[in-house]
Amino acid sequence: MTDVRAEAIAVRREAPARALFRLSRPRQWHKAVMLFAAPAAAGALESPVLVLRAAVAAVGFTLLAISVYAINDIRDAPDDRRHPTKRLRPVAARVISPAVAALLGIVTALAGLAITSSLGVSTFALATAYLVAQLFYVFGLKHVAVVDLVIVALGFVLRAAAGGTATGLPVSHWFLLVSLFGAMFLVTGKRKAEHTAVSRPVLAAYPTSWLDQVLTVCLLGAALSYGMWAFQYLGHDAYRELLAISFLPFFTGLLRYALLVSTGRGEQPEHELFRDRVLLIAGLTWAALLTIGLYCA
């Protein structure tokens, strides 16, 4: 209790600039790596121009995400003040006023749309769709069972697709399915972990047995989609065959993560990768096989 009080006092004394930075949730910025997935899967990361275009798109989508976080915190402030940890969010803690948070949301939204528009109509359209979908989520759809899962997963798919349009690279349908099923797998695992750790109204609509069914479907969907993507390159080139072999550590990682979720972990997927040794080794092995198969052929 003493630590919580000390943290609350520190938050109230927080400098406005630092509070705004915290409002933007920098721990979530890693999601922009999805903008590099399409050029990486196409073996195009050797091109500085394409990497730069993907980086510009990543900045644009990160700004759009910051806009959504700001609007979300304004809307959820009354409920956040009753939550043991969310009450420390800048708006809920009254360190940042709703007006300032709204200004941040508007500025970052306009900046994100302006940046993505410089990458072409298709990327701008995907960015707009992302922003609209996330705002619908904030303003009510996050309380609608199933729809909330789909919209969160859709955010990852739109990022992945935008990585292709921003760089002008064709995106495999199997690649998009891997993104969709993989995102649904992680989001569903997060919801299951939150059943016992976090108070979220929509969780009451999700029986654990149903979440387990969705996890199974998404695991199989992600595995089969990745297999179809990887095996389409199988040929006489020894390096390309490594893409097919990469299916094994990919599937192992999915199964291992599903096991962690079944034991109550999975609320923070990005942290589990580094805390679980088997998951980390599987991830590194998959990354190595994928890199050699795509860039050494």
Least Cα distance to 264 among 201, 184, 208, 181 occurs for 208
Backbone angles phi, psi at 158, to 5 degrees: -65, -40
On whether residue 5 sits in a domain, the answer given is yes
On whether residue 146 sits in a domain, the answer given is no
- Centre a 10 Å sphere on the Cβ of residue 124 and count the other Cβ atoms it contains: 20
Per-residue pLDDT tens, the chain, 297 aa: give them: 455 455 555 555 667 888 899 999 998 898 999 999 989 888 888 899 999 999 999 999 999 999 999 999 999 888 878 777 788 888 888 889 999 999 999 999 999 999 999 999 999 999 999 999 999 999 989 889 889 999 999 999 999 999 999 999 988 888 899 999 999 999 998 888 877 655 577 888 888 889 899 999 999 999 999 999 888 876 666 667 888 889 999 999 898 888 888 877 766 777 777 788 888 999 999 999 988 888 876
Predicted TM-score (pTM) of the model is 0.85
Residues 8 and 104 in one domain: yes
Which burial class, exposed, middle or buried, applies to 10 when counting CB atoms under 10 A from its CB (0-12, 13-18, 19+)? Answer: exposed
Per the structure, the complete domain to which residue 4 belongs is given by 1-124
Residues 96 and 17 in one domain: yes
On whether residue 27 sits in a domain, the answer given is yes
Residues 2 and 85 in one domain: yes
Residues 212 and 291 in one domain: yes
On whether residue 145 sits in a domain, the answer given is no
Looking at the 3D structure of the chain, how many domains does it have? Answer: 2
